[in-house]
Copies of this chain bind each other. A is one copy, B any other.
Amino acid sequence: MAALKYDVFQAISDPTRREILRLLSTKKRAISEIASQFPVSRTAIAKHLHVLSEASLVSGEKIGREKIYQLQPEPLTEIKQWLAYYEQFWTNKLSILKHVVENDDE
What residues make up the interface of A, taking CB atoms closer than 8 Å to B? 9-10, 12-13, 15, 18, 21-22, 25-28, 70-71, 73-74, 76-77, 79-80, 82-83, 85-87, 89-90, 99, 102-103, 106
Per a CB cutoff under 8 Å, which of B12, B22, B83, B85 touches A9?
A: B12
Residues of chain B within 8 A (CB-CB) of A73 are 86, 89-90
The 3 closest A-B CB pairs, nearest first, are A13-B13, A73-B89, A28-B103
Chain A at the B interface: mostly helix, strand, loop or mixed? Answer: helix
A21–B89 CA distance with the chains assembled, in angstroms? 12
Q: Known interface pairs A12-B9, A83-B83. Does A90 touch B74 (Cβ–Cβ under 8 Å)?
A: yes
